[in-house]
Amino acid sequence: MSQHERFREAGISGSALAGEIVIDAHMHFGTFHNFFIPRPDVESLIQSARRIGIQRMYGSSLQAIRGDAEAGNAFAVALHREHPDAFFPYIVFKPNYPELAQQTIDLAESSGAKRFKIHDDGNDFPYDHENYFPLYEHANRTHSVILVHTFGKVHVLPMMTMAARYPEMKILLAHSGIVDEECYRDAVRRHDNIFLETCSSMAWYGLLERLVGMAGPERVLFGTDMPFMSPDQQIGRILFAKIPDDQKRQILGLNAQRLLG
């Protein structure tokens, strides 16, 4: 059996990755406005994760991203209390509700979640806007992780500026390489506090291998973007990648274990 056979065989047979650490570093809870999500409920998310062998899911509330951050974040925190081994919240920070910034940070502190999610869907605030600075200052002070929705350089370039200004803040770039691959390469080469997350509905040929080439296998993290996307699809990009099995183990869970706690 060659060095990337164990995971490839699992992909062909569709067997859960027993005995491996598998962590989803990027998923969501809830529904969305512009398309139908057939299975957004918590039980379905757990079922989908179990089929693959995912043990832990780090997620953010779509309700928080699209509108009511207070209610959405509260749901994510409560979900963790209900399923303390399965779900772990990212606290969504909204730049267009500056009056709630401190309350959002306080929720993260009180819940022990040293993880945040930022997404410009619906608000269009660039990630280097001053309304984000209270979050970045907190994250820098507490060494927290910020999962950043990205779609190429329009999102990555401002985060590179922020990575330099707040070097203790850990930045996880969602959908790495989905477009403008070179900006993701530049981001990880210039900033040690930037990491790459893999999920993409478009399974670009060879992208996984290129992400590993850019960042090294220790800075690439597996994510699914459930319930938008299927872990059934996202796992295939890792299992069949032309990299050694020990690198796949790092991407599937060991890196997330180290970064996300």
Residue 32 or 97: which CB sits closer to other proteins? 32
Walk across the sheet containing 91-92 and list its strands.
Answer: 91-92, 115-118, 145-148, 170-173, 194-197, 220-221
Nearer to other proteins, 169 or 229 (CB): 229
**19 Cβ contact list (under 8 Å, min separation 6):** none
Give the nearer residue to other proteins in terms of CB position, either 144 or 234.
234
Are 195 and 173 within 8 A, CB to CB?
yes
- Closest distance between other proteins and the C-beta of residue 96, in Å? 24
Shortest separation between residue 236's beta carbon and other proteins, angstroms: 3
**Among the listed residues 166, 204, 159, the one whose alpha carbon sits nearest the alpha carbon of residue 184:** 159
Q: Which is nearer to other proteins, 39 or 165 (CB)?
A: 39
Long-range pairs, 126-130, Cβ under 8 A, ≥24? 126/158, 127/155, 127/158, 127/159, 127/162, 128/158, 128/159, 128/161, 128/162, 129/95
Q: What are phi and psi of 189, to 5 degrees?
A: -75, -30
CB of 89 to other proteins, least distance (A): 19
* 142 vs 233, beta carbon nearer other proteins: 233
Is 192 or 232 the residue whose CB approaches other proteins more closely? 232
The CA distance from 179 to 34, in Å, is 22
Closest to other proteins by CB, 108 or 229? 229
Element (H, E) at 66: helix 62-66
The CA–CA distances, whole Å, from 115 to 77, 135, 143, 148, 172 equal 12, 11, 9, 11, 10
In whole angstroms, how close is the CB of 208 to other proteins at the nearest point? 7
Which residues in this chain contact other proteins in the complex, by CB under 8 A?
A: 8, 11-14, 34-40, 44-45, 47-48, 51-52, 201-208, 210, 224, 226-237, 239-241
In one-letter notation, the amino acid at residue 219 is R
Q: How far is the CB of 32 from other proteins (least distance, A)?
A: 9
Residue 243 Cβ, how far from other proteins at the closest point, in Å? 12
* Least distance (Å) between residue 46 CB and other proteins: 11
